[in-house]
Chain A
Amino acid sequence: MVSRAAPTTQAPPAPAGLTRDQLLEIYRYLRLTRTLEERLVALYRQSKVIGGLFRSLGQEGESVASAYALQRGRNRDILSPLIRNLGSMLVMGAQPIQILRQYMAKAEGPTRGRELNVHFNDLERGYLGQISHLGDMVPVMAGIALTFKLRGEPRVGLVYIGDGATSTGTFHEGLNFAAVQRVPLVVIAEYNRWAYSTPPEKQFAVRDLAEKAKAYGVPGVTVDGNDVLAVYEATRFAVERARGGHGVHVIEVKTYRRKGHAEHDDQHYVPKDELDWWAKENDPVDRYVKRLLQGEWAEERELRTIDAQVKTEIDEATDACVDEPLPSPESALTGVYADPPGTPRHWYRNL
């Protein structure tokens, strides 16, 4: 949220209209995202994570910053994250223990073992989980934003789309519909260089994804996706523009997927020096920290304290759920419909 308490200590004016506390809060979400994923890697290697593990390494900045530009809280703005937007979900209020339980298919997890990874939602907190069919969330979020418009609610929807998924039909249909209806929807197009193993030049013939916005008659801008504050400012502008009734806005964030499609993918198709460069020279968290310290908006000591708090939080969340049971087999049969509430068990299973 924008209006927060005044800075607790005297410091130079903070950038992007953010308070010093907010800058530190953003740092906390960046660190939380990265540390939580590192924990998931450890659990994956112990076979505690049942399915694939999808990293957002290198993309935490744009995820956290774009979500941070929304109005958060009960029944405010809503975003629809992709697999590499763990940071966005955490900003909206998803709890690390939910992520851990979901990855480990626990009965107490947010989908009770029915769905994988970050595919879950809490519409009150403001996130709607994706399905694996890329592009589909664009029409769905257009419908959510349409509802805001129909009811005259000052709320905004935000949907992420990967560079590869801008090739889908549902992206086109959803964006076009949203643009025609002038619904309050912000589209974050993540140019992260890789759609599984496919590079952009095999995916589309434009240079920048922002160019695609022209075809829908909506503004499109390109932002350095690893510059946290730039992404925040661009999203904030688009969100408030949408809230003001001016419709759809596309923001392309140029970033880089530093891990494979999932943990199993060894990225042999990625030039090694390119990976090294992004890790050493253009890591969004490193850049953000540097900026905080150089601007004297934070002290090293404060950041280390946050790091320690985050680690403790994730340790506690892990300990609390790692030994929890998987769902009972019979629980698979409920909840396909509101009515009937359950699907009958096949009679021969009782023989």
Chain B
Amino acid sequence: MADVTYLEALRQGLWEEMERDPSVFILGEDVGAYGGAFKVTEGFAKQFGEERVIDTPISEAAIVGAAAGAAHMGMRPVAEMQFIDFISCAYDMLTNYVATARYRAGLATPIVVRGPCGGYVRGGPFHSQNPEAAFFHTPGLKIVYPATARDAKGLIKASIRDDDPVIYLEHKWLYRRIKEQLPEGEDLLTPIGQARLAREGKDLSIVTYGATVWKALEAAEQLAKDDRLSVEVLDLRTLLPMDDAAIMRTVQKTNKVVIVHEDTRTGGIAGEIAARINEQAFEWLDGPIMRVTAHDVPLPYAPTLEDFVLPQTEDIVKAARWLAAY
């Protein structure tokens, strides 16, 4: 067992899959010689050669489109978006071409599109986005969003092995901030479509994913100490397909739920989760379903602005406290 950061765990997962399967290759901007903007692929070109770690032009649509073409031929490409904000440049390719390929044409398109997402890092409007909601609406795609080092590794490996296209969202605030002991020499896989109970509780549930898992855990700790509240935290890990069963289990257990995400509110994932709870566990609710999210503005740069716009631990505490007293 060794202490491994979220970023290193992701790196290990990629490396192991490259070693295991010669059809896996990486393409993206500055991923080769430079090793990627965040050094996720540092050393890969040297180890696996430039043919398997391809530096591309600044062309997100071509990166995803070429990955799709290669995937049809039996390859398993991993496409890096230098910042996930730029995935919108490949929106057409992902939603129209890639996502529909199996359904309309019976074409397997096992690609992974991954990249650093998320805020709390003073990145401003174009280096902080959380794009999940834009793709969540598209049948044919899968979306995973690890919160832990273990899942960073387990989900990249599972995504590469999955026979369908997967968008893998990695939170840059977590890259070097969290560490975990991971077993060595073990094939660590996190099944796609399964949530993880990050903390058990009985009074109230927080359903969340990504960086806000850590904010929710902080809030739960604070609520336990200050309010003697027992808060359960569910880390979704996969957004599409969503683990409805795990959500309903926690709702049925605590009867009160706060949904937390870093992305903006309107049309966000929380709305869909709330709708599913309404459809599947309405009778179990003892209070309104709460949402704690970013405000509906582009993410600003200044620390005072960003901290205000993004959901903070204190916001979760306040919402949970209100709901617990309902």
- Which of A's residues lie within 8 Å of B, judged by CB? 111, 114-115, 119-121, 123, 128-129, 131-133, 136, 138-148, 150, 169-170, 173-174, 176-177, 180-181, 335-340, 343
B68-91 vs A, Cβ < 8 Å mask (1 yes, 0 no)? 111111110100000000000000
The answer to whether A173 touches B61, judged by C-beta atoms less than 8 angstroms apart, is yes
The answer to whether B163 touches A169, judged by C-beta atoms less than 8 angstroms apart, is no
What is the distance, in angstroms, from B4's C-beta to the closest C-beta of chain A?
29
> Whole-angstrom distance between the alpha carbons of A185 and B299 in the complex?
42
The answer to whether B56 touches A121, judged by C-beta atoms less than 8 angstroms apart, is no
With both beta carbons as reference points, the residue of chain A lying nearest to B279 in the complex is identified as A347
Q: Which residues of A contact B241 (CB under 8 A)?
A: 337, 340
The answer to whether B142 touches A174, judged by C-beta atoms less than 8 angstroms apart, is no
The 9 closest A-B pairs by CB, nearest first: A143-B69, A139-B65, A143-B66, A173-B62, A173-B59, A338-B163, A177-B62, A144-B69, A140-B69
> Whole-angstrom distance between the alpha carbons of A119 and B100 in the complex?
12
> Whole-angstrom distance between the alpha carbons of A132 and B95 in the complex?
12
With both beta carbons as reference points, the residue of chain A lying nearest to B92 in the complex is identified as A133
B207, CB-defined interface residue at 8 Å: no
> Whole-angstrom distance between the alpha carbons of A325 and B45 in the complex?
54
B267, CB-defined interface residue at 8 Å: no
The answer to whether B51 touches A139, judged by C-beta atoms less than 8 angstroms apart, is no
26 A-B Cβ contacts within 8 A? A111-B104, A114-B104, A115-B104, A119-B105, A121-B105, A136-B65, A136-B92, A139-B62, A142-B62, A143-B77, A146-B70, A147-B69, A147-B73, A147-B74, A150-B25, A174-B61, A174-B65, A176-B57, A177-B66, A335-B102, A337-B140, A337-B241, A338-B163, A338-B164, A339-B162, A339-B164
Q: Select one of A128, A131, A139, A335 contacting B61, CB under 8 A.
A: A139
The answer to whether B75 touches A147, judged by C-beta atoms less than 8 angstroms apart, is yes
B33, CB-defined interface residue at 8 Å: no
B152, CB-defined interface residue at 8 Å: no
What is the distance, in angstroms, from A340's C-beta to the closest C-beta of chain B?
7
What total of A-B pairs shows CB separation below 8 Å? Answer: 129
Q: Which residues of A contact B69 (CB under 8 A)?
A: 139-147
What is the distance, in angstroms, from A50's C-beta to the closest C-beta of chain B?
15
With both beta carbons as reference points, the residue of chain B lying nearest to A169 in the complex is identified as B61
What is the distance, in angstroms, from B70's C-beta to the closest C-beta of chain A?
4
Q: Which residues of B contact A142 (CB under 8 A)?
A: 62, 65-66, 69
What is the distance, in angstroms, from B160's C-beta to the closest C-beta of chain A?
14
Q: Select one of B56, B65, B103 contacting A140, CB under 8 A.
A: B65
With both beta carbons as reference points, the residue of chain A lying nearest to B107 in the complex is identified as A121
- Are A177 and B25 CB-contacts (below 8 A) given A143-B68, A336-B103, A338-B102? no
Q: Which residues of B contact A169 (CB under 8 A)?
A: 61
> Whole-angstrom distance between the alpha carbons of A180 and B68 in the complex?
18
What is the distance, in angstroms, from A141's C-beta to the closest C-beta of chain B?
6
B270, CB-defined interface residue at 8 Å: no
With both beta carbons as reference points, the residue of chain B lying nearest to A116 in the complex is identified as B104
B31, CB-defined interface residue at 8 Å: no
The answer to whether B57 touches A177, judged by C-beta atoms less than 8 angstroms apart, is yes
B9, CB-defined interface residue at 8 Å: no
B125, CB-defined interface residue at 8 Å: no
The answer to whether B59 touches A176, judged by C-beta atoms less than 8 angstroms apart, is yes
Q: Which residues of A contact B68 (CB under 8 A)?
A: 139-140, 143
Interfacial residues of chain B within 33-71, with CB under 8 A of chain A in the complex: 51-52, 54, 56-57, 59, 61-71
> Whole-angstrom distance between the alpha carbons of A123 and B70 in the complex?
12
- Are A170 and B164 CB-contacts (below 8 A) given A146-B66, A335-B106? no
The answer to whether B96 touches A131, judged by C-beta atoms less than 8 angstroms apart, is yes
B173, CB-defined interface residue at 8 Å: no
Q: Which residues of B contact A139 (CB under 8 A)?
A: 59, 61-62, 64-66, 68-69, 93
